[in-house]
Amino acid sequence: MDFGMMVAQLGEGMVVTAEIFFLTLLFSLPLGLVICFGRMSGHFLLRTLSKIYISVMRGTPLMLQLIVVYFSPYYVFGIKISAAYRFTAVILAFALNYAAYFAEIYRGGIESMPVGQYEAAQVLGYNRTQTFFRIILPQVVKRILPSVTNETITLVKDTSLAFVLAVVEMFTAAKQIAAKETTILPLMAAGVFYYLFNLAVAAFMEYLEKKMSYYR
């Protein structure tokens, strides 16, 4: 295989990795907030179900969750599984998994807010929804950014688990080329890609932290 063809195959894998990464964040970040609300709800059943969901998602391997999400439609509902469903199953599994982690990050940030913030908002005439979205949430986002950054960096590396459902992302493509050409060069290239990807993520998150700093 010539160098140009190898770069082209790795490039296709990079695109898939990036798609998994961004789509997972797109769905898991808002879903995590919804689950966080359930976890902090005063309704016993909703709170309990949210706790169980978080416990299961964080307590079982993501690889197993990928397999369950992919095969469940067939074994539970008898729906025939198509090859096109593989990528969708990957996004579903990743989003459901990371939403549980983000939910706990959100909860920690919300519970760290002083009670005085809520009392002051009430005095100013804000209702509960206005208080949360206009006063509490912006401060929570600032506080949880370091934790979100850690999870986001982990997500970049976890995208390689998509191979479980035969989705050819960056690392899988590199392994296939390395096995075929008996060279570790593609694997080294994949390592560089993951490092640069995470470097870019960390730099972007650091930029957000500085933009949200109150003491610049």
Question: What's the domain range around 101?
Answer: 19-168
Higher-confidence residue: 3 or 56?
56
Confidence of residue 214 (pLDDT cuts 50, 70, 90): low
pLDDT score for 34: 95
**Predicted structure pTM score:** 0.89
36-78, pLDDT tens digit by residue?
Answer: 999 999 899 999 999 999 999 999 999 999 999 999 998 888 8
- CA distances from residue 37 to 31, 33, 64, 121, 135 in whole angstroms, order as listed: 10, 6, 26, 19, 16
* The amino acid at 185: L
What's the total number of domains in the chain?
A: 1
Q: State whether the Cα torsion 106-212-133-25 is positive or negative.
A: negative
CA 189 to chain CA centroid, Å, is 24
| Within a domain: 177 | no
For residue 30, give the CATH number of its domain: 1.10.3720.10
pLDDT score for 124: 80
| Within a domain: 109 | yes
Confidence of residue 116 (pLDDT cuts 50, 70, 90): confident
Q: Phi, psi at residue 125, to the nearest 5°?
A: 95, 15
| Within a domain: 69 | yes
| Within a domain: 72 | yes
Confidence of residue 106 (pLDDT cuts 50, 70, 90): very high
pLDDT score for 142: 87
| Within a domain: 195 | no
174-213, pLDDT tens digit by residue?
Answer: 888 888 888 888 888 888 889 999 999 999 998 888 887 7
- Cα–Cα distance measured from residue 68 to residue 75, given in angstroms and rounded to the nearest whole number: 10
| Within a domain: 7 | no
| Within a domain: 202 | no
| Within a domain: 175 | no
- Cα–Cα distance measured from residue 130 to residue 44, given in angstroms and rounded to the nearest whole number: 25
Q: State whether the Cα torsion 29-34-35-37 is positive or negative.
A: positive
